[in-house]
Amino acid sequence: MKVDRRSFLGLGLGAVAGIAVSPVGLKLTDDSSIWTQNWPWTPVPADGEVIYESSVCSLCPGSCGISVRKIENRPVKIEGRENYPVNNGGACLHGIAGLQYLYDPARVKTPLKKNGDKFEEISWDDAIALVAGKLADLRKSGSPEKFAAILDKEQGSVSGLFKRLFKTFGSPNFYTMPSFESYLEATAAAIHGEGKTIGFDLENADFVLSFGAGIIEGWGSPVNCFQANASRKERRAKLYQIEPNLSNTAANADKWVPIKPGTQADLALGICAVILKNNLFDSNATMNFKGGFNKFAAMLQKDYTPSKTAEITGVKAADIEKIAGLFAKAKKPVAVFGKGRGDGAQSLKELAAVHTLNCLVGNINKKGGVFVKSKNKYLEFPDESMDSIADAGFAKPKAGRYMNQLVEKINSSSKSVVEALFVYNANPCYSLHDTKSVKQALGKIPFIVSFSSFLDETAKEADIILPSHTFIERIEDVPSGAGLAKTVVGLTKPVASPVFNTKNPGDTVILIAKALKGSIAQSFEWESYNECLEGVTARIWDSLSEDGYAVISKGAPIEPAAVNLSFLSGNPPTVQAQGDFGLTLIPIDNMRLINAGAYVSPFAIKTVSDKVLKGKNIVVEINPLTAKGLKNGGFAIITTPIGTARVVVNFNEGLMPGVIGMVEGLGHTFENKYVSNKGVNVNDLIGPVIESGSGLDAAFGIKAKISKA
Amino acid sequence: MKQENNKEHKFGMVIDLDKCTGCGSCMVSCMSENNVPFKEDESNKKDSITWMRVYKLTNGKSFPDTETAYLPRPCMHCAGKGGHGHSPCVSVCPATATEYGHDTGIVSQIYTRCFGCRYCMGACPYHARYFNWWDPKWPEGMENYLSPNVSPRMRGVVEKCSFCYHRYQAARDKAYHEGRNDIEENEFQTACTTACPAGAIVFGDLNNPAHKVHQIVKPDPHPDKWNRHVVGKSRNPKVFRLLERLGTNPKIYYLSEREWIRRKGDNYLDGEWDKIKNHHGSSSHG
Is A446 exposed, middle or buried (CB count within 10 Å of its CB: 0-12, 13-18, 19+)? middle
For B139, the closest of A30, A87, A105 (CB atoms) is A105
CATH number for the A112-179+384-553 domain, one of 3.40.50.1820, 3.65.10.10, 3.40.50.300, 3.40.50.740? 3.40.50.740
Q: Return the pLDDT at A295.
A: 87
For chain A, give the number of residues: 709
Contact of A350 with A211, CB cutoff 8 Å: yes
Render A650-690 in DSSP notation, one character per residue: EE-TTB-TTEEEEESS----SS-TTTSS-S--GGGT----B
Domain ranges (residues) in chain A: 5-36, 112-179+384-553, 202-368, 576-709
Angle at which helix A505-516 crosses helix A529-536, to 10 degrees, equals 100
CA–CA separation, B35 and A79 (whole Å): 15
DSSP 3-state of B264: coil
| Residue A482 contacts B where some CB pair is shorter than 8 Å | no
| Mean pLDDT in residue range A663-686 | 93
Nearest CA to A478 out of A85, A146, A6, A52 is that of A85
- Residues of chain B in contact with residue A77, where contact means CB-CB under 8 angstroms, are 32-33, 145, 147
Query: Taking all residues of chain A, what is their mean pLDDT, rounded to a whole number?
Result: 92
**Beta bridge partners of residue B56, listed in sequence order:** B70
- Model pLDDT for residues A606-658, shown as the tens digit of each residue: 999 999 999 999 999 999 999 888 999 999 999 999 999 999 999 999 999 99
Query: What is the pLDDT at residue B7?
Result: 66
Correct CATH for A576-709 of 3.20.20.20, 3.10.110.10, 3.40.50.300, 2.40.40.20: 2.40.40.20
For A147-151, A457-461, A564-568, which range has the lowest pLDDT when averaged over its residues? Answer: A564-568
H/E stretch holding A704 reads strand A702-708
- Residue B15 gets which letter from DSSP? E
Instruction: Report the pLDDT averaged over residues B87-97.
Output: 92
Q: How far apart are CA A263 and CA A358, in angstroms?
A: 19
Predicted local distance difference test score (pLDDT) of residue A622? 95
Per-residue pLDDT tens digits for A154-211: 999 999 999 999 999 999 999 999 999 999 999 999 999 889 999 999 999 999 999 9
The two beta strands, A613-614 and A644-651, are: unpaired
Query: Contact, A448 vs A442, CB < 8 A?
Result: yes
Provide the pLDDT for residue B280.
53
Predicted pLDDT at A668:
93
Considering only CB atoms, which chain A residues are within 8 Å of B152? 42-45
The pLDDT tens digits of the residues spanning A654-663 come to 999 999 999 9
SS3 of B83-133: HCCECHHHHHCCCCCCCECCCCCCECCCCCCCCCCCHHHHHCCCCCCEECC
- Contact yes or no for A216 and B21 at CB 8 A: yes
* Among the listed residues A269, A185, A253, the one whose alpha carbon sits nearest the alpha carbon of residue A214: A253
Q: CA angle, corner A701, sides to A59 and A152, nearest 5?
A: 25
Searching chain A, which residue's CA lies closest to the CA of residue B193? A90
Confidence category of residue B285, pLDDT binned at 50, 70, 90? very low
| Exposure string over A116-155, b if 16+ CB within 10 A, otherwise e | eeebeebebeebbebbbebbbebbeeebbbbbbbbbbbbb
Q: Rounded CA gap, B36 and B107, in Å?
A: 18
Helix, strand, or coil (residue B183):
coil
Cβ–Cβ of A103/B140 closer than 8 Å?
yes
**Domain boundaries of chain B, sorted by first residue:** 11-279
The answer to whether A520 touches A171, Cβ cutoff 8 Å, is no
Write down how long chain B is: 286
Which CATH class for the B11-279 domain? alpha beta
Q: Report CB contact under 8 Å: B24, A102.
A: no
Sheet strands (E) in A470-615: 476-479, 487-492, 549-553, 583-588, 613-614
CA distance B144 to B141: 6
| Beta strand segments in chain B, E | 11-16, 53-58, 68-73, 130-131, 158-159, 201-205, 239-240, 252-255
C-alpha triplet B176, B177, B178: angle, nearest 5°: 90
Q: Do A103 and B33 touch (CB under 8 A)?
A: no
pLDDT number for residue A206: 94
| pLDDT level of residue B284 (50, 70, 90 thresholds) | very low
Segment B200-237, tens digit of pLDDT? 999 999 999 999 999 999 999 899 888 899 999 999 99
- Residues of chain A in contact with residue B198, where contact means CB-CB under 8 angstroms, are 90, 216, 226-227, 229-230
Q: What integer pLDDT is reported at residue B1 of this predicted model?
A: 41
Kindly indicate the confidence band of residue A593, based on its pLDDT and cuts at 50, 70 and 90.
very high
A555 CB-contact burial (10 Å; exposed 0-12 / middle 13-18 / buried 19+): exposed
| CB-CB neighbors (< 8 A) of A229 in chain B | 21, 198
Distance CA B76, CA B127 (A): 10
DSSP sequence for A62-123? T--EEEEEEETTEEEEEEEPTT-TTTTT---HHHHTTHHHHT-TTB--S-EEEETTEEEE--
CB B262 within 8 A of CB B241: no
The pLDDT value recorded for residue A33 is 73
A383: closest CA of chain B, how far (Å): 42
Beta-carbon separation of B21 and A625 below 8 A = no
A202-368: which CATH number, 1.10.443.10, 3.40.228.10, 3.30.420.10, 3.40.50.970?
3.40.228.10
Among the partner-chain residues A45, A216, A603, the one whose CB lies closest to the CB of B147 is A45
Of the candidates A421, A69, A432, the residue with the CA atom closest to the CA atom of residue B29: A69
What is the predicted pLDDT for the residue at B6?
52
pLDDT of residue A501: 95
pLDDT at site B277: 72
> Per the CB < 8 Å rule, is B194 touching A79?
yes
A233–B198 C-beta distance less than 8 A? no
Q: Confirm or reject contact between B48 and chain A (CB < 8 A).
A: yes
Q: What is the mean pLDDT of residues A118-125?
A: 95
* β pairing state of A238-242 and A255-257: parallel
CB B262, CB B238: distance < 8 Å? yes
**Pick from B44, B50, B62: CB nearest A653:** B62
Bridge partners of residue A659, in order along the sequence: A584
Helix (H) or strand (E) holding A509: helix A505-516
Distance between CA atoms of residues B91 and A41, nearest Å = 32
